[in-house]
Amino acid sequence: MIGALMTTLRLPALLLLLLLSLLTSAARATAKFEDTMAQRTLACSVCHGAEGRAAADGYYPRIAGKPAGYLYNQLLHFREGRRHYGLMTRLLEPLSDAYLSEIAGHFASLDLPYPPPARVTATPAVLERGRLLALQGDPSHKLPACVACHGTRLTGVQPNTPGLLGLPRDYLNAQLGAWRSGQRRAHAPDCMAQVARTLTPEDLNAVANWLAAQPLPANPHPVTRLPMPPSVACGSAILPAGAMTR
Amino acid sequence: MTQPPDPSGPSESSAFSGQSPESGPSSPASGSQRGGAWRRPRLGTWTSRLQAGRLVGLAGLAGLVIAAAALGVGFWRSEHGSEAAADPRSDAPATAAAAAASNAAVSTTSGLPASAADDGVTRGRYLARAGNCQACHTAPGGAPWAGGRGIETPFGVVYAGNLTPDPTGLGGWQAGDFWRALHHGRSRDGRMLYPAFPYTHYTRVTRADADALWAFMQSLPPVAQANRPHELRWPVSTQWALGVWRALYFRPGVQQADARQDASWNRGAYLVQGLGHCSACHSTRNALGASEVLDLSGGMIPMQAWYAPSLAAPNEASLADWPLAEIAQLLATGNSPRASTLGPMAEVVLHSTQHLTPADLTAMAVFLKSVPPTAPTEARNTSMERIPVKAGAALRGEKLYGDHCAACHGAQGEGVAGAYPRLAGNRAVTLPVTANLVQVVIHGGFGPATAGRPRPFGMPPFAMVMSDADVAAVLTYLRQTWGNQAGPVSELEVAQQRSLAR
């Protein structure tokens, strides 16, 4: 009698378990395939985060919502060997200009919320130096302010100039370092190379720390134009996206 | 085409080596994925199958020099005897009636729209695509056709030459000089060229096609870019070593039609064995970097850690039971119902085969389908020692598959038609050589964006996500599930392949 009761109890339990496991594996496996750009670019999100929102590790930048021309130029730079990161180059080598442009447009079109900035560890003095550089530059060293080219809100300018907020400090440091060393390049005249070479290592660190600590403004989108023409000439900002490709 | 070293060429730049500030974090298992490491192309002929081949190669080369010297002298005569009886630098197009008759069968570019006043340029451009010349003769981001791309070989780096009609390129050359390079593997000044320029295959190209290629190259905008000297180790760096190598492995000779086969088969054989130089990858190289032009039985691609599967073995990539249309579709688009291309073959489809006419693709398909089948291949020793797979790896593999792979490839490895490859019953998954699987999991990849399939889907790179043990576990799982029956993949194999895939 007891045995029979146990069996009657056990069977539904087993069935339930079986059903559950089937359901979970089915849910995992049939994560509904859709013929979308998001589906086609899943190779990007493993590093750049879901929908290009950036991952937690601080090396891979957010790409969602950056200006399309900027993203397109970077894809071309990686494919053509003007920016150096093996995984990116290998992924992009078999892709056409047209498809890279479409991929850039896809990520540029994503309007996703930004997380709050990471906690700051730099000293107040360092942050203050960074703030001054970003907002006012350093005329004594002919350093333009970041806002002069990247927009008053530092959210970038359409179509080719990226925003500087919402990026991890490690990434900003690495990029400014790459500009300094010539590892990273852009269309001539290469204004960022000039700026980065003028920055001292201390100033570079200060401005990266300050930028990484800023929350996004209420309107995080790139502006369509700058209030006044910048003091330095930038090939990337002026030329049409893709101008450097063959 | 490989040019003699030019002392005025730029020196090796170190800017691309080492760890760049752009490097991401190292992978959990190894630091081999340095972002700053500039990836050179590693195609080519003057290469051997394995890193270990380098040592064997040098020792073997030294040992063979004496033995081969006599042979070399003897062969030099033959090389310059019958074939070269007519002045190879003669500028006159090939008009020898006998040669023309035999050549006509293979060099008729089937399906290419013929323009009334075609001066050869259009056909030459097409043939250059069939030979994928530009892939090597253009540096990444560099001026098209101006050379400078480094071809990594186990013996050093060979830099492709400038093919534009500039004095630094082929400016002073005549059609006869070009023919001599393509057919005899010699530069204008008579120096022997390195077979990273695959003249072991290109020698099969007819004079008429060589002249068309020449006309096309002369039509390119001139680019002033001095050729970069090769960086080869002694004794490979010497002309005498090259002479010995050629005596052993190079026989100049235009492709001859096989009267027992039809025109389509012959055209396909001409493309596959000549300009297509398919066996440069799809065959095994010996310690001296030589391979057999007619052999398509598969091999590791030197310096790349990719395996070009056998086109003869039924368990690898034999096409014997494929419909012709699907073979042509794979070459035209990079994708087909039974297989898709990634890595080096994606590059071939992108730059070369997608541009060929349907008639020529069908001809290649006819020939490839006819490759005599071999017995199924066994697991090959690729210098990777087989280490027993740890207990528990199967469970781990299943979990990893569920977490990272099943969303696209399906719980039963069924894939999604047209987007994600099926893994159950897929020969690429059960290949005896596991190099490609490791490559794909670590580096991910897109298929080629071709006119026929312009928006390919992509596989994410898991280099930063999976350790060597993870990769081994998940690969073992999918090689032994859903009816797949292939050997396990050990962590050591993954580590070795990851370190080779620089």
Question: Interface pTM (ipTM) of the complex?
Answer: 0.83
Are the Cβ atoms of B412 and A29 closer than 8 angstroms?
yes
How far apart CA B197 and CA B202 sit, in angstroms, is 9
- Please give the CATH number for the structural domain made up of A124-238: 1.10.760.10
Encoded amino acid at A103, one letter: I
Q: How many alpha carbons fall within 13 Å on the CB side of residue A217?
A: 13
Q: For tokens 């030019």, what's the residue?
A: B6
Within 12-31 of A, beta carbons closer than 8 Å to B belong to: 25-26, 28-31
| B446 CB neighbour count, 10 Å cutoff | 24
B338's CB contacts (< 8 A; 6+ apart) are B322, B326, B330
Task: Give the β-pairing of B231-232 and B445-446.
Answer: unpaired
Fold match between domain A38-108 and domain A124-238? yes
> Which residue does chain A place closest to B32, by CA atoms?
A86
The three-state secondary structure class of A236 is helix
Comparing alpha-carbon positions, the chain A residue that sits nearest to B141 is A80
- Are A91 and B410 in contact (CB < 8 Å)? no
CB spacing of A94 vs B445 below 8 angstroms: yes
Q: Does B15 touch chain A (CB under 8 A)?
A: yes
Residue A46 near chain B (CB below 8 Å): yes
First to last CA, chain A: 83
B147, two tokens? 């050379």
**How many CB atoms lie under 10 A from the CB of residue A213?**
18
Q: Are B449 and A33 an interchain contact pair (Cβ–Cβ within 8 Å)?
A: no
Number of Cβ within a 10 Å radius of residue B231: 16
The closest alpha carbon to A124, from A201, A217, A203, A209, belongs to: A209
Instruction: Confirm or reject contact between A242 and chain B (CB < 8 A).
Output: no
Q: How far apart are the first and last CA of chain B?
A: 25
Tokens coding A200:
């001292």
- Do the Cβ atoms of B21 and A89 come within 8 Å? no
Judging contacts by C-beta atoms under 8 Å, the chain A residues touching residue B20 are 84-85, 178, 181, 183
d(CA A191, CA A189): 6
Torsion angle (degrees, nearest 10) of CA B35, B40, B42, B43: 130
Contact flag A181-B445 (C-beta cutoff 8 Å): no
Q: Does B354 touch chain A (CB under 8 A)?
A: no
Q: Which CATH number fits domain B263-369: 3.30.110, 1.10.760, 1.10.3470, 1.10.10?
A: 1.10.760
CATH 1.10.760.10 location in chain B: 393-500
pLDDT tens, chain B, 502 aa long: 434 333 333 333 333 233 333 433 433 333 333 333 333 444 333 333 334 444 444 444 444 444 444 444 444 444 443 443 334 444 444 444 445 555 555 766 555 555 544 678 999 999 999 999 999 999 988 999 999 999 999 999 999 999 999 999 999 999 999 999 999 999 999 999 999 999 999 999 999 999 999 999 999 999 999 999 999 999 999 999 999 999 999 999 999 999 999 999 999 999 999 999 999 999 999 999 998 888 999 999 988 899 999 999 999 999 999 999 999 999 999 999 999 999 999 999 999 999 999 999 999 999 999 999 999 998 654 444 455 556 677 899 999 999 999 999 999 999 999 999 999 999 999 999 999 999 999 999 999 999 999 999 999 999 989 999 999 999 999 999 999 999 999 999 999 888 876 5
Query: What are the distances in angstroms from CA B223 to CA A223, A242, B145, B181, B183?
Result: 40, 21, 8, 20, 25
Say how many C-beta atoms besides its own lie within 10 A of residue A155's C-beta: 23
Whether omega for the bond prior to residue B5 falls within 30 degrees of 0, making it cis, is no
Cross-strand pairs, B453: B450
- In the CATH scheme, what is the code of domain A38-108? 1.10.760.10
Output helix, strand, coil percentages for chain A, rounded to the nearest 5: 55, 0, 45
Q: pTM here?
A: 0.82
Can you tell me the distance from the alpha carbon of B19 to that of B38, in angstroms, rounded to the nearest whole number? 10
Can you give the C-alpha Rg of chain A in angstroms?
24
* Closest to B137 measured CA to CA, from B48, B206, B202: B202
Q: How far, CA to CA in Å, does B500 sit from each of B190, B265, B299, B421?
A: 36, 38, 15, 25
C-alpha distance from B461 to closest chain A C-alpha (Å) = 7
**Alpha carbon of A35: minimum distance to chain B alpha carbons (Å):** 9
Task: Phi first, then psi: give them for residue B332, nearest 5 degrees.
Answer: -85, -35
- Domain ranges for chain A: 38-108, 124-238
Question: What's the gap between Cα B4 and its chain centre?
Answer: 23
> CB of A206 within 8 A of CB of A130?
yes
Point out the residue among B141, B406, B460 whose CB comes nearest to the CB of A82. B141
Please give the Cα distance from B307 to A134 (Å, whole number). 51
Chain B nearest-CA distance from A73, in A, is: 13
B20/A181 Cβ within 8 A: yes
Cβ contacts from A onto B, under 8 A: 151
Residue of A nearest to B344 (CA): A94
User: In terms of CATH, what superfamily is B393-500?
Assistant: Cytochrome c-like domain (1.10.760.10)
| Range B318-323, long-range pairs (CB < 8 A, 24+ positions) | B318/B371, B318/B373, B319/B365, B319/B368, B319/B369, B319/B371, B320/B369, B320/B371, B320/B373, B322/B365, B322/B369
